[in-house]
A = this chain, B = another copy of it.
Amino acid sequence: MPLPDVAGREKILRVHARKIKIAPDVDWTTIARGTPGFSGAQLASMINEAALLSTRQGRPQVDMEVLEQAKDKVMMGAERRSMIITEKEKRVTAFHEAGHALVAWMTPGADPVHKVTIIPRGRALGLTMQLPLEEKYSQDRTSLFNTLCTLLGGRIAEEIVFDEITTGAGNDIERVSDIARRMVCEWGMSADIGPITFRPANPLQGQAGQIMSEETARAIDTEVNSLIRSAYDAAKNILLEQRPVLDAMAEALLERETITRKDIEEIVRLKRQ
């Protein structure tokens, strides 16, 4: 079952909203546009969450502000404000997230940054959230490459600022590896390998893998590596060139814990080289 598109989402939101009291300022079309990639179940759970938060916060009706909070919770998990985090780890997290956000911001065509936070949510110490401008059904090579850059931005920022790297980037690196491997082996996006797919054997799922020579395995490794190295260099260049923006963003995060698109716009305007 495919995800609902914007019209579908609006319809789903309105259905679930019938059960609760809604403030007059709520504009369902805006909310539908701001929730691309949400499933029907996620939309329903967002409305429920908004009703709960509204009650808990003593609001008479579900308004736009509480819907925004509910959306964040559905997208990023519950906040874990009680977690005690050392000053050092907070700083590392702030620069890590600022690294993601700054690379995304500076990459033409990347999905716009929606919000960046260093309040722990779920298993993460911080989060950078991007929201696409429009719904897309396929992705082009350039935007996949931009995703690689953005994912690597966190680790690189740690490296530049602290001359140290942490296990915290493990999940970013796994996603980078997965996307780069699919670009080469599934989507035919390496000129050297060409339009051909390769699938590792997975016996438990009845998949036999292809016959593959060591030479081909080496060519694939080389391409995947070179893709990741290019993204790494591109992201590093951005962060080195825009170091003042990076620092300002991290400081803003340490001060305010969460910054939004508008805050970033302001910082970039002031500090951009």
| Chain A interface residues toward B at CB < 8 A | 2, 5-8, 82-86, 89, 92, 123, 125, 134-142, 144, 152, 155, 164-170, 172-174, 176-177, 180-181, 185-189, 194-198, 200-218, 220-221, 224-225, 228-229, 232
* A213 near B203: Cβ-Cβ < 8 Å: no
Instruction: For A199, give the chain B residue with the smallest CB separation.
Output: B208
* B181 near A210: Cβ-Cβ < 8 Å: yes
Can you list 17 A-B pairs, Cβ within 8 angstroms, ordered by A? A138-B167, A141-B164, A170-B197, A173-B186, A174-B186, A181-B211, A194-B228, A194-B229, A195-B232, A196-B225, A202-B207, A202-B208, A205-B206, A208-B209, A211-B220, A213-B214, A216-B218
* B200 near A176: Cβ-Cβ < 8 Å: no
Please give the distance in Å from A107's CB to the nearest CB on chain B: 15
Most buried by B among A180, A196, A209, A217: A196
* B200 near A84: Cβ-Cβ < 8 Å: no
Please give the distance in Å from A2's CB to the nearest CB on chain B: 7
* A195 near B84: Cβ-Cβ < 8 Å: no
Please give the distance in Å from A142's CB to the nearest CB on chain B: 6
* A211 near B185: Cβ-Cβ < 8 Å: yes
* A84 near B140: Cβ-Cβ < 8 Å: no
Please give the distance in Å from A99's CB to the nearest CB on chain B: 13
Q: How far is the CA of A24 from the CA of B49 in the complex (A)?
A: 45
Instruction: For A232, give the chain B residue with the smallest CB separation.
Output: B195
Q: How far is the CA of A232 from the CA of B232 in the complex (A)?
A: 31
- Which B residues are in CB contact (< 8 Å) with A201? 200-201, 208
Please give the distance in Å from A70's CB to the nearest CB on chain B: 23
Most buried by B among A136, A152, A188, A205: A188
Q: A82-B5, A196-B177, A217-B213 are in contact. Are A89 and B138 (CB under 8 A)?
A: yes
* B194 near A202: Cβ-Cβ < 8 Å: no
Most buried by B among A125, A195, A205, A214: A195
Instruction: For A170, give the chain B residue with the smallest CB separation.
Output: B187
Q: How far is the CA of A176 from the CA of B188 in the complex (A)?
A: 11
Q: How far is the CA of A218 from the CA of B213 in the complex (A)?
A: 5
Q: How far is the CA of A188 from the CA of B186 in the complex (A)?
A: 23
Instruction: For A86, give the chain B residue with the smallest CB separation.
Output: B134
